[in-house]
Chains A and B, each alone.
Chain A
Amino acid sequence: MPQFLEHSGTSWKGQKVKHDLSVIDKLDPRLRVIMVTLFAFVTVLSENFFVLGVGVLVGLLLALLAQLNLKRTLRRVIAMDMFMIFLVILLPFTTPGEALFTVAGVSASKAGLLHALMILLKAHAVVLSLLALVGTLSATTLGHALAHLRVPDKLVHLLLFTVRYLDVIGQEYKRMRRAMQARAFVLRTDMHTWRSIGYLIGMLLVHSVERSERIMDAMKCRGYKGRFYLFDDMALGADDYRFMALFIPLLCILVGLNFL
């Protein structure tokens, strides 16, 4: 992952990413999770370029409907691309088959190129729909949606705790890093750097665990008995049915196209 992305996550508050309210935000969170899961299955399991092409278009359309912030989304998509860039570039050269062109004496096969393209399409279709449908939820709401969908209670609580501490620990990390910088610390490729960063992480863990204990105490003092309350009810409304009426047939058509 490239350097310029550093800290884009540590400033995330675990709350709703700031964006303009859109049609997507009117939908029931549970529905959004289920739909994105179904959509991911349909695209990832497909081997048909037409289906995948439509899948990417659907992903783009959802992103538009969700009014995702262009710059931020682009950054995230590029970050994902970084994870597979190797894979995709190498595939044409390592897949046997009819040669299409040659680079430095190594020939690229058509089959490999198509395979690479397929991976690209699938990954982008999924990531766009995911960012649009689920990435626009606040993490807390997502946790509650998962709880309603019968994800084990402990796992949901763990998610909620993680989200709560992300910001606290992120801030703490930043403050400690600044304090190190203020003492003329510069990152280098040497033992001193690694030891210092190791200490930093160890201390961050110790602080974080102790803070987590204090937060737990504070919650107990306010009568916490293992339950979080949320002010938004989850009930399917007219918008949800309208969305389903459009989306489910679309998914069916996409599945059907595979068998043509």
Chain B
Amino acid sequence: MHIVDGALAVPVLAVGAALTVAGVAIGLKKMDYDHLPQVGVLSAVFFIASYIHLPIGFSSVHLILNGLIGLALGWAAFPALLVALFLQAVFFGFGGFLVLGVNTVNIALPAVMVYYLCGMGISSSSPKVAAIWGAIGGAGSIVITTVLVAFSLMLSGEAFLLAAKITFVAHIPVMIVEGFVTAAAVLLIRKVKPEFLNIKERCDAV
């Protein structure tokens, strides 16, 4: 999902950077110092998820988990994912440096959207309903991410259209896997530590 340096047009880079700055600013504002460890942990989990490969037929996919991170963090997903992507870029050469803004928006914006779209759903009293919303969140965030990646490519040149389409098709298995995995993770966290998904607060708010 990471885009490398040099591929995108300058205006796309600039818009991505601006959106990331805005998102991170909101995220930092909503996150107090006592929340830091929790956000840091999720940032680390995103980092590690990219090393978890699941087989799909003869090939394999790695997890992204931005849906799960969004569900747990809301706007704080922006700083969390920026930090993880920054570390990946600097120490592992994943993605690039100047595209960091675009990459962050592509992965963190869907996370925040999922937080608002599926947040109610996963706190439903029925585990089945919650799991379904978890799956929607997991798969949905990948759908939105791929669409955003495709958009960033297309806006940078007509010639990228085919690559953008292929990116989308290639990620369909990822969407399915992420859906199931996120649903299971949501089910487990609901049972074991519901406060972690802000489920209690949401129930109270209703």
Contacts and interface: CB of A to CB of B under 8 A. Distances in A.
- A and B touching (Cβ–Cβ under 8 A): yes
Interface of A: 1, 3, 5-10, 12, 17, 36-37, 40-41, 43-45, 76-77, 79-80, 83-84, 86-87, 90-91, 93-96, 112, 115, 118-123, 126-127, 130-131, 134-135, 139, 142, 152, 154-155, 157-159, 161-166, 169-170, 173, 187-189, 191, 193-199, 201-206, 208-213, 215-216, 226
11 contacts: A8-B51, A41-B98, A87-B153, A127-B93, A131-B91, A155-B79, A166-B48, A195-B180, A195-B184, A201-B45, A208-B44
B37 A213 contact: yes
- Size class of B's contact patch? 35 or more
Nearest to B184: A198
B15 to A, nearest CB: 15
A212 B196 CA distance: 13
B115 to A, nearest CB: 16
Given A8-B92, A194-B54, 15 more contacts: A1-B50, A6-B51, A36-B97, A45-B10, A91-B160, A115-B157, A120-B6, A123-B6, A134-B90, A159-B87, A189-B55, A201-B52, A201-B185, A206-B189, A212-B37
B127 interface: no
B181 A131 contact: no
A105 to B, nearest CB: 15
Given A158-B83, A161-B36, A76 B92 contact: yes
A203 B98 CA distance: 35
Contacts of A164: 40
A198 to B, nearest CB: 2
Nearest to B195: A209
Given A86-B163, A94-B163, A126-B98, A162 B47 contact: yes
A120 B4 CA distance: 9
A93 B188 CA distance: 47
Contact of B180 (A37, A122, A198): A198
Contacts of B83: 155, 158-159, 162
Contacts of B203: none
B65 interface: yes
Given A7-B51, A36-B97, A131-B93, A194 B180 contact: yes
Contact of A191 (B82, B89, B180, B187): B180
B138 to A, nearest CB: 9
Nearest to B5: A126
Contacts of B7: 84, 87, 119, 123
A212 B38 contact: yes
B44 to A, nearest CB: 4
A10 B33 CA distance: 26
Contacts of A188: 55
Contacts of A130: 89-90, 93, 97
